[in-house]
Amino acid sequence: MKVFEKAAELNQFLALGRANGKSVGFVPTMGALHSGHISLINKAKQGNDVVVASVFVNPTQFNNPDDLKKYPRTIEADKALLEKHGCNVLFFPSVEEIYPEKDNTIFDLGGLDNLMEGKFRPGHFNGVAMVVKRLFEIVQPNNAYFGEKDFQQLAIIRYMVKAELLPVNVIGCPTLREASGLAMSSRNMRLTEEEKIEAAAIYKAMLEAKENAKSFPPQKVKEFFENSISHNPIFKFEYFEIVDSETLLPLLEWNSERKAVGCVAIWIRDVRLIDNLLIFP
């Protein structure tokens, strides 16, 4: 596996491959890699000649400086894991390499950035759009792979790519879960084993919501979910929304022609977890 820290050197290397007709698959990450990330690498290997992963903890998407400081950084383990699973190229840039000058771009994200996560993390999705566009400009991939665990983020990246006319095919990949049902996340590293066991209740409550959707309207399903979570003192509930899978707008009734997704954010002490599940149909 080749490792590049400079955008110009990476670009030069990939240009040679493109000149020989090789396609590029790209998996952007913030490191602290786990099996969920590797599933993206495997998907990229299936559909591309060259697989590039990036590890970059992007400061512009953290509205909480303490969260940025605490975000796990495990670059040596990440390198070993990527090499073991057949990643061809790792891009590991500095902040200065990604942002040589201050970037004040404000993206029009069609209002998708004002819902759910956007209410609690102002500016977060503008920072995501900023770094993803910059990485796409550097790597120039044919295909880019993102986990569906970050459901709202995936919708916003797709919107941004279309609005900015970027020639990249954005591919969403299913959420991987621990045996308990807990969605795999780099932030899980900050949970104790006891907290991980407790956190599995989030997925269990979402499965119950999916079952309740067969008999009750969205608002009632939301109430049941909140009641099932709120009794646990280890949780600090932030939101549970049942939204249209495309517009991300809250649903007041079920529509057999539209997919409804339940999206949740919950704190376990000082660790914030998000997850989602198809609720209906």
> pLDDT above 90 covers what percent of the chain?
96
DSSP secondary-structure letter at 177? B
Q: Reply yes or no on domain 2-173 having CATH 1.10.287.40.
A: no
Task: Specify the amino acid at residue 17.
Answer: G
Confidence of residue 83 (pLDDT cuts 50, 70, 90): very high
How many whole angstroms separate alpha carbon 202 and alpha carbon 220? 17
Supply the angle between the helices 193-212 and 218-230 in degrees, to the nearest 10. 160
Q: Is the pLDDT of residue 232 over 90?
A: no
Q: Can you give the pTM of this predicted structure? A: 0.95
Q: Report pLDDT for 63.
A: 87
**Which residues in the chain are classed under CATH 3.40.50.620?**
2-173
- Look at residue 231 and tell me whether its pLDDT is greater than 90: no
Which ranges in the chain are annotated with CATH 3.30.1300.10?
186-275
Average pLDDT estimate for 63-71: 91
**Superfamily, domain 186-275:** Pantoate-beta-alanine ligase, C-terminal domain (3.30.1300.10)
How far apart, in Å, are the Cα atoms of 97 and each of 6, 56, 241? 7, 10, 37
Summarize the confidence of residues 83-88 as an average pLDDT.
98
- E strands present in 109-247: 143-147, 169-173, 235-244
Q: What is the pLDDT of residues 132-167, one digit of tens each?
A: 999 999 999 999 999 999 999 999 999 999 999 999
Question: What is the average pLDDT across 87-105?
Answer: 96
State mean pLDDT over 102-106: 93
Mean pLDDT over 222-249 rounds to: 94
Average pLDDT across the chain, whole number: 96
User: Catalytic residues, which ones?
Assistant: 37
pLDDT of res. 178: 95
